[in-house]
Structure 1
């Protein structure tokens, strides 16, 4: 193997695979689990498994993001930093869409499975997949390393699997109702709108959750250097 193909590349793929199996596996087992321990407790279990795995992924990514081969170096090119930040901000608007009930996510209210067709779902039926691809493009452009390329491939593959997995679970639960939603929405952004199956309603985006996401983006922009410093103290 070439010298630049460090063990961290394979460790990152292993961490991504572990997270994907746990996250998607628990999502698939949700109906079975909720029947036995209840929706709230299952959501707590889901969080207790997913959040530590995600935290470990983030720490390892920060500490090894410059590993391997440097394919390109664009960080000194004028305008690149602004492009990366804007793409990252847009990615979070898709990654954390306001179609979710935050009280259900926190298990304050009973978590439910919803069949959404409003807000950002009018743009794409799988906003998290779109947001993850945009995030990967931005960070791959900025870092330009083989480790980042491997990380992006792993993340995108997981979210592409999530497209199939999510549609299958909604189809199993809602049947013909979901098939009708599939006709009126699209996986690729704006395709359903261009085909005339869907129209944007900007009033649906005026919601407190979107304000929360915007605030999170600003907080992340401010705390990004601190986050890098903090993870550097973790010997991993």
Structure 2
């Protein structure tokens, strides 16, 4: 359990202490933006691999056990997450690794729904697993992923507002952190024709494949 705890802290620390704080600017001044992004991406890959291996070897210490009644909720959240993750990469979005400034973005497609589709998808996937797996190792692993996916967008919004100023404010007036809020507030509208159908189909196919092979690949059925 100590290894899993350390891996989760390393994962969060890389995001919140290295990338999400003023320390990032100092490191970028020394290494350059490209080198920083490469090293940061490598560290996150290492963190995720470490978390996965540590989780597999962690002891099972039950809290509420397997929450069978919540499995339908978990499946629904997971399906939405599997749609958000691939569909998040096809629309020009300033939150996608900060590659495009907000004044060069036309809010369309998935960005109308949320400006943080990838992170929200990751967070929902983690939360979906957190609620049905009642043991301490699962709380650590899936709680860390849920926290990073659902809470980290707040830190990104703060960082991008400081970087882009008024252009960021104008961008956020057209979209929302929480999915569909800008649409419900009449600040935007849902345009289904702008959504990438191939990404949606890919996410759906991956979802059903994971459901079918879940018992074989990971142990434990998500259905029963």
The TM-score with structure 2 as length reference comes to 0.72
**Residues 7-37 of structure 1: CA distance to partner in whole angstroms, max 9, x if unpaired?**
x2x5433321201222452466379639955
Distance 1:71 1:173 in 2: 44
The answer to whether the 8 A contact 2:120-2:150 is kept is: no
- Aligned partner of 1:106 in structure 2 is none
| Structure 2 unaligned regions, length at least 5 | 92-97, 220-224
Q: Measure how far apart 1:222 and its partner are.
A: 4.4
RMSD between superposed Cα atoms in Å: 3.5
Equivalent residue runs for 1:22-41 within 5 Å? 22-24=14-16, 25-26=18-19, 29=24, 33=28, 36-37=31-32, 39=34, 41=35
Hey, what's the Cα distance between the residues in 1 that align with 2:89 and 2:121? 15
Between the aligned partners of 1:98 and 1:130, the Cα distance in structure 2 is 12
Report what 2:4 is aligned to. Answer: 12
**Which residues in structure 2 correspond to 1:154-169 (within 5 Å)?**
154-169=144-159
SS at match of 2:64: coil
Instruction: State which drifts further: 175-184 or 121-130.
Output: 121-130
Superposed CA deviations along residues 75-123 of structure 1, whole A, max 9, x for unmatched, are 3x6xx545433321212323x2434259xxxxxxxx8245353322322
> In structure 1, what is the equivalent of residue 185 of structure 2?
195
C-alpha distance in structure 2 between counterparts of 1:92 and 1:15, whole Å: 25
Given the alignment, which residue of 33, 38, 53 partners 2:47?
53
Q: Distance in 1 between matches of 2:127 and 2:147?
A: 14
Task: Give the number of equivalent residue pairs.
Answer: 208
8 A Cα contact 1:97 1:127, kept in partner: no
Aligned partner of 1:44 in structure 2 is 38
For 2:196, the equivalent position in structure 1 comes to 206
Shift of the 81–160 alpha-carbon distance from structure 1 to 2, 3 Å rule, reads closer
In the TM superposition, residue 205 of structure 1 has moved relative to its aligned partner by: 1.3
Indicate conservation of the 8 Å contact 2:123/2:148, yes or no.
no
- Residue 137 of structure 2 is matched in structure 1 by 147
Q: For 1:208 and 1:42, how far apart are their aligned partners in 2?
A: 32
Choose which of 125, 133, 136 in structure 1 pairs with 2:115.
125
CA distance in 2, matches of 1:113, 1:14: 34
Residue 112 (1) aligns with residue 99 (2): yes
Could you list the structure 1 runs, at least 4 aligned residues long, displaced by more than 4 angstroms after superposition. 34-38, 80-83
C-alpha distance after superposition, 1:31-78 (max 9, x if no partner):
963995563x544333322112112212333444x7222414443x6x
